[in-house]
């Protein structure tokens, strides 16, 4: 036997001796895992393709934040259907009353549909962003800039002077600077002269913040008259949708009260029913009662904010806002009286991009003076 053959025989023998039972079991386990992975690979690819196709058909599913909001909206609608559906399935008396008095059930179902529609309308309404207000302001004043530029060009042509390319470039830059700084000057005029708050700039949006504006980290934008970010709605509550939010709370509270009355009427009825029906109704009634307490407190709280022209952020973070921290607790700088506040909130047709001016020191001092009998007679609070 040659030396090469002897070497191959020795290597094969050493490999056969080194394959212990433990190594054989490890190899078997490895082959089994590879087989499982190979079988699962087509399933994984099919799942990824289905997920990608769903993301293309429904874009909100590709974003985790929007997906969570969509799930919460779906859960809210399902809860409404469950509470009302169980009531109609178990309460025979309600079904008989529907046949005798269809208008009663029609009004109840109309309130249910109106509440859900109001929920989606509020969720889709813009709260009023600072960036949109800046664009609207610049577009409004763009016509004035074009008119002034046209008048300058006509005047120069009448004088017989020609505009060189460099002069035109400088003129274009000056118009751009005016357009950019017009918003800054507009916001600064909303603050009293000499106020440090005139120079407040958002570190995230790099925009000068008008009074009552705040950056929302969930929406990643500055919101005009920021109140709070509602997780259930998936949007901020601000100047543009605060009124719709209050009406949604009012409709939801009314629906909960009416549904609770129907549940209690069902429990008081002496009709023959199973014990599990009472258990289901009592459980749903407890959940409904807790929801009603929360909604009622929230409705009363926002009604107080409307009467005093405040926001949740201004009330909770008053000591952190530079132009509010030095004011007395009972002074509401943006309040114009109860009647005017109600009118501005419910009936005013001002733009959602309108900015509210911060009162001067003299106006705040006059509002801080205590009430006397003549103030009550003259309806100073109104």
What are the residues facing 222 on neighbouring strands?
215
Residue of 202, 230, 256, 339 marked catalytic: 230
What is the rounded distance in angstroms from the CA atom of residue 188 to the CA atom of residue 198? 5
What is the rounded distance in angstroms from the CA atom of residue 205 to the CA atom of residue 193? 24
Of residues 333, 296, 328, the one with CA closest to residue 311: 333
Is 236 tagged catalytic? no
Q: What angle do CA 195, 201, 206 make, to 5 degrees?
A: 160
* Residues with active-site annotation: 230
């Amino acid at each position: 036997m040659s030396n090469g053959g002897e070497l191959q025989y020795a290597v094969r023998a050493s490999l056969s001796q080194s394959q212990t039972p433990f190594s054989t079991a490890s190899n078997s386990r490895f082959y089994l895992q590879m087989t499982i992975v190979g079988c699962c690979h087509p399933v994984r690819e099919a799942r990824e393709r289905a997920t990608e196709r769903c993301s293309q058909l429904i874009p909100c599913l590709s974003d985790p934040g929007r997906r969570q909001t969509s799930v919460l909206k779906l859960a809210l609608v399902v809860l409404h259907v469950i509470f009302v559906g169980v009531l109609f399935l178990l309460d025979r008396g309600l079904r008989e009353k529907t046949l005798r008095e269809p208008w009663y059930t029609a009004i109840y179902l109309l309130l249910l549909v109106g509440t859900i529609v109001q929920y989606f309308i509020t969720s889709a309404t813009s709260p009023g962003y600072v960036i949109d207000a800046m664009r609207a302001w610049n577009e409004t004043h763009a016509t004035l800039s074009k008119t002034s530029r046209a008048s300058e060009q006509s005047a120069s042509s009448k004088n017989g002077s020609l505009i060189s390319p460099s002069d035109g470039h400088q003129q274009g830059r000056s118009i751009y600077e005016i357009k950019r700084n017009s918003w800054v000057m507009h916001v600064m005029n909303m603050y009293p002269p000499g106020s440090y708050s005139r120079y407040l700039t958002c570190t995230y949006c790099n925009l000068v913040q008008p009074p009552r504006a705040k950056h929302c980290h969930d929406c990643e934008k500055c919101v005009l008259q920021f109140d709070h970010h509602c997780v259930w709605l998936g949007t901020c509550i601000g100047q543009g949708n605060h009124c719709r939010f209050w009406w949604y709370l009012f409709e939801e509270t009314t629906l909960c009260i009416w549904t609770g009355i129907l549940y209690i009427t069902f429990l008081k009825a002496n009709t023959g029913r199973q014990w599990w029906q009472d258990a289901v109704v009592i459980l749903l009634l407890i959940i409904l009662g807790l929801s009603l307490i929360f909604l009622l407190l929230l409705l009363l709280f926002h009604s107080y904010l409307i009467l005093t022209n405040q926001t949740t952020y201004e009330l909770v973070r008053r000591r952190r806002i530079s132009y509010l921290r030095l004011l007395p607790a009972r002074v509401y700088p943006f309040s114009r009286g109860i009647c005017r506040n109600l009118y501005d909130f419910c009936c005013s047709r001002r733009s959602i991009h309108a900015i509210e001016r911060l009162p001067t020191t003299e106006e705040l001092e006059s509002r801080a003076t205590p009430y006397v009998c003549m103030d009550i007679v003259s309806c100073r609070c109104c």
